[in-house]
Every structure is written in structure tokens, then in C-alpha cells.
């Protein structure tokens, strides 16, 4: 296991289509985060899971966004009816403990372009 893996790395979709991204965290990491990064900005928190439970969602996460983490392993982030404003880099991170002082390991991200 070499780190957090995200797929696909790039996704181009037409406005109105649905897209789904996958994140495979480091094995046995029980906390998983999703962040969104737009050009010129730092990553913004979207949501996080403790094992399979989704414990917090940002107000950035509209009703068109849904995330799951079945069985507390990999996670998916789905965006329905995509809009041009959804174009961004979507980052996943995982950490082994509930302590925020523990290093969070980030994947390389999925870059979404909505045309």
C-alpha cells in the first residue's frame, strides 16, 4: 500500500451529467476526508467519515453531492446534475486516528472539468 489512491485522475463531463469519484485510503485508516480545491485557493473541507459513519458535512456540500463509505474502507463522492461551478480538484485524505494532530495523507486528486 503506497498511499491514498484516487480514481479517476481526470474527468471531463457535460453539464447536467452525473459523476462519481472513488478514494481508496491507506489500509486501516479509520478517518477519511473529502476536500475541494479551486484555482488559486486552498483545499476546502467537504465532508469526513469515521469508519463508515459520515460525521460532518460542509455547507459547501449541496444536495447534489453525496458521499458514502460502505464498510469503512473506500469512499465514493457523487455529484448529480453537474454544473460548471463544480469544476475543481477533488481531494481525498485519510488518517489513522481521530486526533487531528496526526498527519493526514492526501491522494493526488481527481480533476473535474464540467463543459
Partner 1 sequence: AQSVTQLDSHVSVSEGTPVLLRCNYSSSYSPSLFWYVQHPNKGLQLLLKYTSAATLVKGINGFEAEFKKSETSFHLTKPSAHMSDAAEYFCVVSDQAEYGNKLVFGAGTILRVKS
Binding of partner 1 by 48 (CB under 8 A): yes
Does 53 sit near partner 1 (CB under 8 A)?
no
Considering only residues 22 through 41, tell me which ones interact with partner 1, judged by CB under 8 A. Answer: 33, 35, 40-41
- Report if residue 108 touches partner 1, rule: CB under 8 A: yes
Non-local (6+) Cβ contacts of 33 within 8 A are 45, 46, 47, 48, 49, 92, 93, 94, 95, 104
Distance CA 19, CA 1 (A): 26
Q: Judged by CB under 8 A, does residue 83 bind partner 1? A: no
- Give me the residues that bind partner 1 (CB under 8 A), please: 3-4, 33, 35, 40-45, 48, 55-56, 91, 93, 98, 100-101, 103-109
Amino acid at each position: 500500500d503506497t498511499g491514498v489512491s484516487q480514481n479517476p485522475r481526470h474527468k471531463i463531463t457535460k453539464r447536467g451529467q452525473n459523476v462519481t469519484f472513488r478514494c481508496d485510503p491507506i489500509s486501516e485508516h479509520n478517518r477519511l476526508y473529502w476536500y475541494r480545491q479551486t484555482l488559486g485557493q486552498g483545499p476546502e473541507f467537504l465532508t469526513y467519515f469515521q469508519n463508515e459513519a459520515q460525521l460532518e458535512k460542509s455547507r459547501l456540500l449541496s444536495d447534489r453531492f453525496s458521499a458514502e463509505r460502505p464498510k469503512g474502507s473506500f469512499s465514493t463522492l457523487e455529484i448529480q446534475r453537474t454544473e460548471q461551478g463544480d469544476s475543481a480538484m477533488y481531494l481525498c485524505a485519510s488518517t489513522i486516528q481521530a486526533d487531528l494532530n496526526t498527519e493526514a495523507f492526501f491522494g493526488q486528486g481527481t480533476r473535474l472539468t464540467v463543459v
